[in-house]
Each structure stands twice: as structure tokens, then as C-alpha cells.
Structure 1
Amino acid sequence: MYCLNKKAWQILHDEVQKCSGNDQVGKIEQEIVIKRLKKLRSQQGSPAGLDELRDTVIDIYPQFSESTLKQAARANQPPGIFAKIKWATILVSSSAGILWIINLPYPMIRWPVAKTIPILLLPSYMSMDYHYRGVIDNLEQADQLVNKATSPADINRGAKKVQAAKKNLEKLPVWFLGYYPQAYCGLFGCSWRFTLDEFETARQRVARIDAIVFQDQNAFTPFNQGEQILKAAKQQYEQANSTKDREQAIASWQEGIDQLAEIPQGTLAAKTAQSKLKAYKRDFENARIGNFITAAQEFDLAAEKAKQQQPQTASQLWQQAVNRINQVPLENPRYLEAQKLLAFYQGKLQSVVDPHSGRLIEGAKEFALAAAQASQNPPHTDTQWRQIAKLWSTAIEQLQRIRVEEPGYLEAQKLLATYQTNLGIIETRLQAEIESKTSLQQANEQIQSLITAPPSDSQQLKGQIQGIINQLKTIKSGTTAYAEAQTLLLSAQNRLKQ
């Protein structure tokens, strides 16, 4: 006779299919339980009862239907004589009733039994052991799913495991901690001890993981809202037909990015948002800069139409175009394009407002544009930096020729502030190039001297090599000497380790 007959196998197999999930974890759990049932199916011996069937599945599927287990247990019993069934039922019922009374959580009952016949308290300890193991198994799975989550599905699955662990924890009979026997006694001796510290640790761990699940699930609400705002704003921007509509879309776009950036750190939603924010910000910046340029072009077209009949209106429109272009930052890839448009629009503006200062401003912008183009793709030699600085200085000199009483004076001052700042940056780069070139030359001289006359003392040799390393480290990145300095630095560091 097999421990599990065909009918009981089919009943349990169907319920396992209902309890298992569709994800990878669910498939693994299903495979484990099916293997256990197959083992019972092929094992000869007495038919497996309700408790054995329950132990086979309940640690993996706490939600397994009790009625299904009972149905499978009944189906697994061999047919017998009614009289035997009757007397067996009476005997089992009587024994079960006595055991139930003995295992009640009352010291006056348990204490004498624990001192004389502790084996009768075995059901209490088996129940405690079963639920304790359920707490540990469910907490381990919940910990893996929650703390190493890769998707919201992992968080939700972890939440279910935490709830299952909580139910097991509630079933642990803490009331008889301290009553003998304290250890779980099986057929081969007592090997497991359940203490109050273990119970408190498990309860704290359940509370901690439950809190993480709560925070993670809540964090996905602003995450989903932020993504919806971003998608809607991007679609609105692509469909916009005017500057006003595009600016409204950009404002919504910024709102969505701000919402994603404010998601609480440490949550899966925050990690997911951070991995996407870089792309969102890049697209947002491209759209924002593109809107500045497109809006400036639209103002230019409107000004061209109005300049003959309404020169004052044309002047205001070109000023709007200039204001938009001025918002394109220096580090943006479209900066040079913007500077060309800026010089073009400002020339048109000055031709309407003030021809004299307009020519000076236009000339200054030409020098500034040449300087900006020449400074692209660094590093440059000190000679090149001096030429670039000279271009900026010429542009500044042009602007300084505009008098206070001229209409273009205010615009010239704004440009002057920008150009002087850029000149300061170039002078800083020039100084760094000169210093780095000098440091590299000195380092090479030290290396040559060391090769020509190396000291006999190893410590003195290491000291000189360390001095060369320190000299090479002063060479700044972004200079023409930096690449060679890094090669020499690596060689010197390897020589020092020998």
C-alpha cells in the first residue's frame, strides 16, 4: 500500500495549482510541493493522514485549504469494516480529548504532566515547532523579496510572506515559555529550544519588514503619478503649436521631474526613479533649450513682418528673441547655434533702435563668436589660449566704446559682464596650461637626472621617485600636458612598488 493514493494525489495536486503564483518564485514553490507529494505517492507504508498531508504543503502554502486537506485525508484512507471504524473513532476521539485537555495553556495542568509524562505535551511543542519554522521560512523569503526587490511584484509577494509570518507568529504559544520541558523532544532526543528572545527577535523582524513593505508600496504612488505627468507633458510638448503651449508643457514636465526626485530614498521606487531621472532630465533640457530657440525664431518672423509699419513693435519682438536666446547656457551643445542667432537678432534690433551702438555690439558679437568657436574641443596650447583671450578682449573693447547716453548701453553692459566672465575663464585655463607645462618639464628633468645618476641607496631612490610623483600630480586635467603626465605617473608608481 502506498502512502498516498491516486484520488488523494489528484485532490492535492489541483489545490497546489490554485495556490501557486505565475512568477519564478511561485513556480519554484509549486515544484517543491509536487516533489513531496510524488515521494508520498511512490512510498509504501501506511496511508498519510491529515497532519502529514498538512505538514507536506503548509510551510510553502500557508493559505492551503483546510477543507481540501481533510477531503484528501478521507480519500486516502483504505476502506474498512464499519465496526473497526466505529471503535477506532471512539478511541481516537477519547485520546484526542485527553491530549487536548493536557495541552491546554494552564500551568496547574501542564506542570504535573511536564514533570511526569512530558511526552504527552508533544502536540504543544510540535505546534510550536511548526509555526516557528513557518515564521523563519516566510521571513527569509520576505527578506529576499523585499530587500532585493527588482519590481513591484516582488514587493507585493514579500508583503504576502510577511503576513503569513505574522500569522505563524500569532500562533506561537508564548504563554508556556519557561515551563518544562523547554526543549522540543522528538523520537531521537531533544534538540530545539524556543526562548522569549527568539520570539521578540522574530516579532521585531516582522515589524521591520512590514514597515519596509508599507513604505515601498506607498512610494510607488508618487512614482506612478510622476511618470504619468511626464508622459502627458512630453505628449503635450510634441503636439504644441505655439510658444505658450510649449512653455505650459515644459512647466508640467518640470513638475513631474520634481515629483520623482522627492520620492523617499531607500525605496525601490526611488531607485527606479533615479535610474530614469537622468534620461528624463536630458530630454527635458533638450526640450527647454529647443523651446528657447524656436520661440526666438517665431519672434524674429513676427518682427520682420512688423518692422516697416511698426518699428517699435518689431524692436520689442527682437528683444524678446534676444531674451530667449540668452537663456541658453554655455555648456549646452546648442550654445554656438544660439550665439549665432543672438548676434543676428541683436544686429536687427540695433539697426532699428541705435545704428551706431548696434554696429559696435554686432562687431563685439562677431569677436565673441570667434572666441567661443576657437575654445571648443580643449585642451589647447598656451598660444591658442592667448589668441582666444585676445578675441574676448577685442569684443570687450568694442562694447566699452558705447557711451552711457546711447540706447544700446544697457545691452552692451550685459554683454560686457558675460564677456569679461568668459575672459576670466580663458585666463584661468591659460594659467593652468602654463603651470602644467612647467611642471611637466620639471618632472622630465628630474626623471632624466635620475636615469643619468641614480642613487645607490634604495630609500633615497624611492624618495626621489616620490618627489617626481608629487610633481606630476600637480598637473591639472584639461591641459595638453595631462595625458603625458598620467603616463609618467603610472610608470613612476609602478617603479615605486618594485
Structure 2
Amino acid sequence: MYRLNKKAWKLLLAEVQKCSGNDQLSQMEQEIVIKRLEKLRTEKGSPVGLDELSETVLDIYPQFSEKVLKKATKANQAPGLITKIKWATIILGTSVGVIWVVNLPYPMIRWPIAKTVPILLLPSYISMDHNYRGAIHNLEQADQLINKATSPADIERGGEKIKTAKRNLDNLPVWFLGYYPQAYCNLFGCTWRFTVDEFETARQRVGRIEAIVFQDKNALVPLTQGEQTLKAAKQQYEQATNTQDREKAIASWQEGIDQLEQIPQQTLAAKTATAKLNAYKRDFENARIGNFITAAQEFDLAAEQAKSIQPKAASELWQQAINRINQVPLENPRYVEAQKLLVSYQSKIQGVVDPRSSKLIEGAKQFALAAAKSAQNPPHTEMKWKQIAKLWSTAIEQLQSIRVEDPGYLEAQKLLATYQTNLGILETRLQAEIESQSSLKQANEQIQRLIAAPPSEQQQFQAQIQGIINQLNTVQSGTTAYAEAQILISQAKKRLQQ
């Protein structure tokens, strides 16, 4: 570092020329001072201070400006820390500005730089690599969270991931598609190698997942509303004290189930709802059937209280009870209980409206019930079938005695049609039993004759056995003779094969 820098030298030189005259002596003085200053300019060492500068010029130019000396001394000082920082900041800022400009996402800027000074695009390469990795990573996570979601939290998290992936794709400049910076990638190992088609596919995938997120979030609304409706309806049903309140609760219950069933099937909400719907429907059905039976019992209680003074009103109440009971489906576990109540209410309503026909109908039902029980576990003997037929006939006779003008006539006719059909079926089975027993008896007689007097010729012997088999084949299944006939047929066939 020279002791006198250029800036200080120029200040001092200007003042020397100002102090110097035009005569020969003045010129000589000027040359002496200038030589002294030139010597300081060529010497290396610490910067010249104010005192040394004063000694250099004041002995020749006493009038030399002290202000210039101080200014030159200041200019001659080595730059301080703040100055260095300032210049470093200026240089750094300028460099950053240049790099920022060349890394702007404009092909007209980047392409020439990429071809000539690709190192200046290092921030772009780092950003591209980062955003490419981020796009792939976040897209895969979003896909997993959305398409295999198990809770609303997965949908929410997947939505955040797809937004991040979209930002990553937005930050990938279109000009880089298919571009591969060889030097940078050899050094840092780039992971991107997008083509235009792949980029568009990723964009479409983002759009599809965004749509799924939107649909799933929307579907969560009816799911929440439906579950809240069901919860409120169930609570309302449990707190209900009469049929009207229970029916209102059941209507709300059905509304909640309808809301869940209307959720789009491809959404997480629909899968969640489907998993719960069976339980909801089971509880709803139990509540609905329970309400039918409870309401019928309430109508029955009210009818019992009214029958002595208002028989017509009591009859209407029992009819209401019957209407409720008739809504209990056959497959419901409480169907048998409901049918018992139904029989009771029908009997009561008949007792109020038409005591005579109701008693005849009730008697016919008892005979029919006895006949049905006796007919269980067939086959039966001819004697038992006749006994059962007699029970059905008695029930039919009871119903036939009800007059056309009797209020119970219509019900009696319905039962009569059923009982006559049952009697017809029974008579068919009775006839089958009689014929089968006759065929078995004839076959046994043929067997006895064959044993007593077997023919001498084998062909004739086999013909008689075949005749016995044919006779046994006329024994019908479902008869008491059928099992024995099958045994005899088996034995006869074995004898034919000997």
C-alpha cells in the first residue's frame, strides 16, 4: 500500500499549483514540492499523516491551505470497516440483482444465459430441483391420503398436500421441460426430467385430486347433518311418551337415513355412512316395529276402557290396533308376538260388534289350529289323516253356519276358503296313503306267491320280480308305505342281478 494515494495527491497538487506563482523561482519551488509528493506516492508503508504533509509543503508554502491538508489527509486514510461493508454490500447487491435478473422466468433471458454462462442459473436449477422433488413427493402423498382416506383428517391433510404440489408445479418454468443442465446435474444429481406430456399428466392429476377433495369435503356436510338428525331422532324417540311423539321421531329418523343414502357413493363420507347404515337401519326398524306394537297396545288399552260405554269407539280403536299390527313384516323377529296380539284384537273386536259370529270364528280357528298341529311331521297313517280331515271339516262347518247378514261373514268366508283348500290337500294325501298301502299290500302278496311257488325258468322268475318292482314303484313318496317299498325295491333289484 502506497503512503499517498491518488485522490490525496490530486488535492495537494491542485493547491500547490494555486499557491505557486509564474516566475522562475516559484516554478522551482513548485517542482520541489511536487517531487516530495511524488516520492510519497511511490513509497510503500503507512499512510502519510497531517503532520508529515504539513512538513512537506509548509516550509515552502506557508500559505498552504490547512483545510486542503486535512481533506487530503482524510482522503489518504485506508478505508475503514464501515466503508468496506458498504462497498461489499454494494457489490453483493449488484451481483444479486444481476443473478435475479438472469434468473427471471422468461425464456428470452434464460435461454441465452443457459447456453453461455449456465452457472448464473444455479438458483434456478436449485429451485427447479426442489420444486420437482416437492411436486412428486406431495402429489404422491396427496394421492395416498385422498384415495385411501380413513378419516376427514386425511382429506384435510390431502387437500393441503395437493395445494403444495400445485404450487411446486407452478414454480416449475415451462421452458425447463426436456432441458437438462449437464454440468449442474453431474455435480448435484438432478432428479427431474419432465417431458411436456408428463407435466400435463401431473397437472391433470392435481386437478383430479382437487376435485376429489372438493367432493369429499362437500359430502362430509350431509354426513354430519344426517348423523346429527339420527342422533336427535333417537333421543326424541327415547323421550317420547305417546304414539304421536314416537311417530314424529321415527319420521325424523327416516329422514336422517335418507340423507346418508343420498351421499355420493365414491366419497369417503359414503363409505363411512355405508359402514354405519346397517346399524342405523337395524335400530330404526326395531324402533319402527316397536312403535307399531306399542301403539297397538295403547289402542287396546283405550278400547278396553271404552267398550262398556262406547262399543263403536272401542271397535274403531281395536281396528287401529289391528292396522298397526298388520304392518309388522313376516321376517321380523317380533312377528309371532304381533300375530298373537292380532288374534286377540280380532277376537275382541268381533266380541263387541258380533258376539255370535266371533264365537263361531274363534271356535273354527281352534279346530283349524288342532288340525294344523296334528298334521305336522308327516307321513301319517290313513286313520290319522281321517282324524285330521274331520277337524278341518268341523272348522268348515262352524264357518258355514255364519249368516250373510252377520258382521263376521266376510272374515268367515276368507277363513273358509283357506280351510277348504287345506282340507282338499289333506284329502289328496289321504288318497295317496290309501293307494300306496294297497300297492304295497299287492306287492307283498306277489312276493309271497313267488316264494311259495318259484318258476322253474330263470327268465320267467326275473319277469315276476320285475313285475313286483313295477308294483312297488307305484307307492308314492310322503306315505307311510314308501320307506318299506324302497327297501323291497332294493332287495328285488339285487335279486335280479344274481
TM-score w.r.t. the length of structure 1 is: 0.59
Percentage identity across aligned positions?
A: 73
Provide the residue aligned with 1:57 in structure 2.
none
Task: Measure the CA separation in 1 of the matches of 2:291 and 2:420.
Answer: 28
Instruction: State yes or no: 1:209 paired with 2:209.
Output: yes
Provide the residue aligned with 1:350 in structure 2.
350
Provide the residue aligned with 2:359 in structure 1.
359
Task: Measure the CA separation in 2 of the matches of 1:418 and 1:172.
Answer: 83
| Higher gyration radius (CA) | 2
Counterpart mapping for 1:256-275 below 5 A: 256-275=256-275
Asked whether the equivalents of residues 183 and 190 of structure 1 are also in contact (C-alpha less than 8 Å), the reply is no
Asked whether the equivalents of residues 328 and 335 of structure 1 are also in contact (C-alpha less than 8 Å), the reply is yes
Provide the residue aligned with 1:227 in structure 2.
227
Task: Measure the CA separation in 2 of the matches of 1:256 and 1:411.
Answer: 40
Provide the residue aligned with 2:195 in structure 1.
195
Instruction: State yes or no: 1:123 paired with 2:123.
Output: yes
Give the Å deviation of 1:96.
Answer: 2.1
- Aligned residue type for 1:218: N
Can you list the C-alpha shifts for 1:28-62, whole angstroms capped at 9, x where unaligned?
A: xxxxxxxxxxxxxxxxxxxxxxxxxxxxxxxxxxx
Provide the residue aligned with 1:169 in structure 2.
169
Provide the residue aligned with 1:441 in structure 2.
none
Task: Measure the CA separation in 1 of the matches of 2:420 and 2:329.
Answer: 16
- Aligned residue type for 1:302: A
Q: Secondary structure at the match of 1:241?
A: coil
Provide the residue aligned with 2:292 in structure 1.
292
Task: Measure the CA separation in 1 of the matches of 2:84 and 2:127.
Answer: 29
Q: Secondary structure at the match of 2:185?
A: strand
Asked whether the equivalents of residues 361 and 399 of structure 2 are also in contact (C-alpha less than 8 Å), the reply is no
Q: 1:367 to 1:133 in 2, by over 3 A?
A: farther
Asked whether the equivalents of residues 233 and 249 of structure 1 are also in contact (C-alpha less than 8 Å), the reply is yes
Give the Å deviation of 1:207.
Answer: 0.9
Counterpart mapping for 1:44-193 below 5 A: 85-177=85-177, 181=181, 185-187=185-187, 192-193=192-193
Give the Å deviation of 1:215.
Answer: 0.8
- Aligned residue type for 2:232: A
Q: Secondary structure at the match of 1:214?
A: helix
Provide the residue aligned with 2:337 in structure 1.
337
Give the Å deviation of 1:226.
Answer: 0.9
Q: Secondary structure at the match of 2:228?
A: helix
Can you list the C-alpha shifts for 1:229-282, whole angstroms capped at 9, x where unaligned?
A: 111111111111111111111111111111111111021111111111111111
- Aligned residue type for 1:297: Q
Task: Measure the CA separation in 2 of the matches of 1:221 and 1:415.
Answer: 54
- Aligned residue type for 1:137: H
Task: Measure the CA separation in 1 of the matches of 2:244 and 2:373.
Answer: 32
Q: Secondary structure at the match of 1:125?
A: helix
Provide the residue aligned with 1:48 in structure 2.
none
Asked whether the equivalents of residues 183 and 194 of structure 1 are also in contact (C-alpha less than 8 Å), the reply is no
Asked whether the equivalents of residues 299 and 320 of structure 1 are also in contact (C-alpha less than 8 Å), the reply is yes
Give the Å deviation of 1:219.
Answer: 0.6
Can you list the C-alpha shifts for 1:407-434, whole angstroms capped at 9, x where unaligned?
A: 124445677899999x8xx99xx9xxxx
Task: Measure the CA separation in 2 of the matches of 1:164 and 1:141.
Answer: 11
Provide the residue aligned with 1:483 in structure 2.
none
Provide the residue aligned with 1:314 in structure 2.
314
- In structure 1, the gaps of 5 or more residues are 1-80, 431-498
Asked whether the equivalents of residues 325 and 342 of structure 1 are also in contact (C-alpha less than 8 Å), the reply is yes
Provide the residue aligned with 1:250 in structure 2.
250
Instruction: State the superposition RMSD in angstroms.
Output: 3.8
Give the Å deviation of 1:350.
Answer: 0.7
- In structure 2, the gaps of 5 or more residues are 1-80, 430-498
Provide the residue aligned with 1:278 in structure 2.
278
Give the Å deviation of 1:121.
Answer: 2.4
Q: Secondary structure at the match of 1:318?
A: helix
- Aligned residue type for 1:150: T
Q: 1:108 to 1:339 in 2, by over 3 A?
A: closer
